[in-house]
């Protein structure tokens, strides 16, 4: 349910309404706008208060303008809860709000030379954040699993050199504390999108969270995963479509480009596209990236390696720096045409 406060409501009015909500065993999520304060109410009534009508009770408060239910199961992520698009700020980087934000870097952190050369190369071509996996979820237990904390240290060094925030995946709840020491954005990979215990934990942090859609996850399930994060108090959630599993084998996954307009209608959260994992082949990455801009996405999560031919993981889908920079030039033209900005 959504509680819309009156325009002239004061801080003590909002606090009073919040207390009434929590007295019923519910959670209050306060969003302060330029003119009004809106309170999202989630949860279930305490057992001894099941006979109460929260809508009626809160509607009687003189500082409340109106109260209405949210029909979607994803209450906080729903566009019903917040009409205005959420803008996620990571240091000086803005995701959403008309910007087209590019997050780039290699699939896996391999060594210092790789990270420094890749980071400095993409920085020159509009990359705003640096991605790289230190803990790698792999289909085979015998393939490269990442460098762990040593990889995080290399990410940090490259980040300081280029002044780009770090986006990296956390796979295991036991690794969260060490990842928090280095990361600016916590990525939840496709395989963990319904690891609800992990989602709750990252929801309790003050770091932005990037959620990648699962291979067989519906859009509603995707948004319910965002809800798990947001229900713990963290509203800085970024959604990422990375391709879903279909009968097609020409590409690694099938990029669901229609997910962009659907998500834009259903939620206020920013939406990115990962063309690298969707395609699995670098030849298709430019076309999918252009489609992402045209469809209204807020940015890309794209894999770039200074020498893809020697990459230890996902070599076939990573662009080299020259290919990446040429792509960005083309993306800027499309972005301008649809009212987006790539700096």
| pLDDT score of 138 | 61
* Lowest-confidence region among 78-82, 117-121, 286-290: 78-82
For residue 76, being part of any structural domain is answered with no
- Residue-range definition of the domain harbouring residue 53: 2-68
Question: Do 92 and 130 belong together in one domain?
Answer: yes
- Number of separate domains in the chain: 2
Reply yes or no on whether the pLDDT at 49 is more than 90.
no
CATH number of the domain where residue 14 is located = 3.30.70.1140
For residue 208, being part of any structural domain is answered with yes
Question: Do 108 and 60 belong together in one domain?
Answer: no
Question: Residue written as tokens 């996620």?
Answer: 88
38 vs 206, more confident: 206
Question: Which of 39-48, 59-68, 239-248 has the largest mean confidence?
Answer: 239-248
Q: What is the pLDDT confidence band of residue 322, given thresholds at 50, 70 and 90?
A: very high
Mean pLDDT of 311-326: 96
Q: What is the pLDDT confidence band of residue 141, given thresholds at 50, 70 and 90?
A: low
* Lowest-confidence region among 44-48, 83-87, 183-187, 204-208: 44-48
| pLDDT score of 1 | 87
Q: What share of the chain is helix, strand, coil (3-state, %, to 5)?
A: 40, 20, 40
For residue 210, being part of any structural domain is answered with yes
Question: Residue written as tokens 């800085």?
Answer: 236
| pLDDT score of 59 | 92
For residue 229, being part of any structural domain is answered with yes
Reply yes or no on whether the pLDDT at 179 is more than 70.
yes
Question: Do 223 and 266 belong together in one domain?
Answer: yes
Number of neighbouring beta carbons within 10 Å of residue 113: 11
Mean pLDDT of 125-135: 96
Mean pLDDT of 67-73: 86
For residues 299 and 175, give the distance between their C-alpha atoms in angstroms, rounded to a whole number: 27
* Lowest-confidence region among 13-27, 44-58, 265-279, 303-317: 44-58
**Helices 259-266 and 219-230, axial angle in degrees (round to 10):** 40
User: Token pair for residue 265?
Assistant: 């209608």
For residue 268, being part of any structural domain is answered with yes
Question: Do 183 and 314 belong together in one domain?
Answer: yes
Question: Do 120 and 225 belong together in one domain?
Answer: yes
CATH number of the domain where residue 196 is located = 3.20.20.70
| pLDDT score of 163 | 97
For residue 83, being part of any structural domain is answered with no
Query: Pick from 40, 68, 96: which residue ends a domain?
Result: 68
Q: How many Å separate Cα 282 from the centre of its chain? A: 23
Question: Do 192 and 57 belong together in one domain?
Answer: no
For residue 310, being part of any structural domain is answered with yes
Question: Do 155 and 7 belong together in one domain?
Answer: no
% of the chain beyond a pLDDT of 90: 80
Question: Do 15 and 152 belong together in one domain?
Answer: no
Query: Pick from 12, 35, 68: which residue ends a domain?
Result: 68
Question: Do 193 and 52 belong together in one domain?
Answer: no
Question: Do 123 and 244 belong together in one domain?
Answer: yes
Strands (E), the chain: 2-5, 27-32, 37-42, 64-68, 88-90, 93-95, 101-105, 127-131, 166-169, 185-188, 208-212, 237-241, 271-273, 299-303
| pLDDT score of 153 | 96
Question: Do 61 and 100 belong together in one domain?
Answer: no
Mean pLDDT of 67-85: 88
Mean pLDDT score of the chain:
93
| pLDDT score of 71 | 83
Q: What is the pLDDT confidence band of residue 38, given thresholds at 50, 70 and 90?
A: confident
Report the relative pairing of strands 2-5 and 64-68 from DSSP bridges.
Answer: antiparallel
151 vs 51, more confident: 151
Question: Do 258 and 118 belong together in one domain?
Answer: yes
For residue 293, being part of any structural domain is answered with yes
């Amino acid at each position: 349910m959504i509680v819309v406060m009156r325009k002239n409501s004061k801080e003590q009015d909002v606090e009073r309404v919040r207390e009434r909500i929590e007295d019923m065993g519910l959670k209050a999520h306060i969003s302060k706008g330029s003119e009004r304060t809106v309170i999202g109410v989630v949860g279930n009534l305490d057992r001894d208060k099941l006979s109460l009508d929260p809508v009626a009770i809160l509607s009687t408060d003189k500082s409340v303008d109106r109260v209405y239910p949210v029909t979607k199961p994803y209450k906080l992520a729903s566009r019903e809860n917040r009409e205005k698009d959420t803008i996620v700020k990571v240091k000086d980087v803005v995701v959403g709000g008309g910007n087209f934000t590019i997050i780039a870097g290699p699939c896996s952190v391999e060594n210092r030379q790789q990270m420094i050369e890749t980071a400095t190369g993409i920085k020159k071509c509009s990359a705003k954040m640096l991605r790289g996996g230190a803990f790698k979820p792999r289909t085979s237990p015998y393939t490269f699993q990442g460098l762990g904390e040593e990889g995080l240290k290399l990410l940090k060094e490259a980040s300081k050199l280029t002044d780009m925030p770090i986006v990296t995946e956390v796979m295991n709840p036991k690794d969260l504390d060490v990842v928090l020491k280095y990361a600016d954005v916590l990525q939840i990979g496709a395989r963990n999108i319904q690891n609800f215990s992990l989602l709750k934990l990252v929801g309790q942090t003050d770091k932005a969270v990037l959620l990648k859609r699962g291979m067989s996850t519906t859009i509603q399930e995707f948004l319910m995963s965002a809800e798990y994060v947001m229900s713990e108090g963290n509203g800085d959630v970024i959604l990422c479509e990375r391709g879903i599993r279909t009968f097609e084998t020409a590409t690694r996954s099938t990029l669901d480009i229609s997910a962009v307009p659907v998500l834009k209608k259903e939620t206020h959260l920013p939406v990115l596209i990962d063309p690298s994992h969707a395609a699995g082949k670098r030849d298709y990455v430019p076309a999918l990236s252009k489609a992402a801009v045209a469809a209204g996405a807020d940015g890309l999560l794209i894999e770039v390696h200074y020498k893809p031919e020697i990459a230890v993981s996902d070599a076939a889908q990573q662009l080299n720096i020259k290919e990446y920079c040429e792509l960005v030039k083309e993306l800027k033209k499309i972005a301008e045409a649809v009212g987006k900005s790539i700096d």
